[in-house]
Amino acid sequence: MLSLENITNTIHEWLNATMNPSLALLSEFVIIGICAIALFAMLGLSLVLMERKVAAFMQLRLGPNRVGPFGIFQTVADTLKLMMKEGLTPDGADKFLFNLAPFIVMIAAMMLLAPIAFARGFQIWDINIGVLFLSAVSSVSVIGILMAGWASNNKYSFLGAMRSGAQIVSYELSAGLSIITIVILTGSLQISDIVNSQENGWWIFKGHIPVIISFITFLIAITAETNRAPFDLPEAESELTAGFHTEYSGMKFALFFLSEYINIFIACAVGATLFFGGWMPFHIGNWEAFNHIMDYIPSSIWFMGKTFFLIFLLMWFRWTFPRLRVDQLLNLEWKYLLPISMINLLAVTLMAIMGWHF
């Protein structure tokens, strides 16, 4: 199977051959940091353009089509505009917390990249509690949102932050229970083990109806956790102007805007890893010839294809369903999704004990 593993091994061997181990390790950290920042920039540009094109497709219009061929440089122009805008801080704001909040949100998003396997052998940190690490660090971003809303000294920002806190804390339960179903079937919290367990078939296929229910629940939960429509109440423009980032401008606003799309990518990458095998090609049991053909497609292409398919689904939701009210949003979680997830978890546990999955 083609992979990026050889590239990482070559760089590692060259650094250790040309410098002492401590300096080689530091150099690797710097390279990883630069690659993560470059990935953030590329994802921000591409996902915003994709959002606009998907919206145009759903609404039977063209979308961006003026700046560059097919409008591909529209997001670059928007980025330059944000970089030139002045970053203002309101007089009544807590200046330290106001300026710190966007960086906390971005740092949390950057930390979430660590355990994700982008390709075979292409992973920053294959920690043995990778799924737990993702669940724990993803909860930190809500602190930045609450901090931004409170420090802005704006009632609309504060209300948006409170909505976001209630929404994220609520839907984390269903998302966590959906993730636990795959952990039970796999028997490991390590991302590499979860991917390897799907070598003879993705869990979405060999886990029967309980895993399909878990996937649907996970999809709804990550839509709410990333503040995406129809769960975009923390940023409801018709009610709260722009929600928790109403008072932000310039690059601080750009950091919030970028972190939203980075979180969408990470959430969909986690979904692709848990339910669709991550970088693992599509294999069917003992069909050796078919599986061998699938292995010719690079593992990075498999991973990105699955991830962007899930991103497309989230964008489809945004331009299809109307926004819910706050009471409807919380009722959906506490009265429907959470009980369904708990019963489904028991069904998956029984299925794993009895060995009823493929």
Phi, psi values for residue 118, rounded to 5°? -80, -25
Q: Is residue 64, in this structure, part of any structural domain at all?
A: no
Task: Count up the domains in the chain and report the number.
Answer: 1
What is the residue whose two structure tokens read 């690079």?
A: 298
In a domain, 66, yes or no: no
Given a contact cutoff of 8 angstroms between Cβ atoms, the answer to whether 231 and 324 are in contact is yes
**Do 182 and 341 contact (CB within 8 A), yes or no?**
no
* Domain annotation covers residue 149: yes
46 in any annotated domain? no
Q: Which of 319, 169, 147, 145 is nearest to 234 (CA)?
A: 145
pLDDT tens per residue, range 254-293 = 888 888 899 999 999 999 999 999 999 988 877 888 888 8
Q: Do the domain assignments include residue 106?
A: yes
**Domain presence at residue 80:** no
User: Is residue 44 a part of any domain in this protein?
Assistant: no
- Cα 36 off chain centre by: 14
Asked if the structure places residue 284 within a domain, the reply is: yes
User: Residue 267: what pLDDT?
Assistant: 93
Domain that holds residue 107: 88-116+124-354
Pairing label, strands 122-123, 117-119? antiparallel
Distances in Å between the alpha carbon of 64 and those of 45, 67, 70, 72, 78?
Answer: 13, 7, 7, 8, 12
What pTM did the predictor assign? 0.91
Q: What is the pLDDT of residues 17-71, one digit of tens each?
A: 888 888 988 998 899 889 888 998 899 899 999 999 999 999 889 889 898 888 8
Residues 75-113: pLDDT tens digits?
999 889 888 888 888 888 888 999 999 999 999 988 998
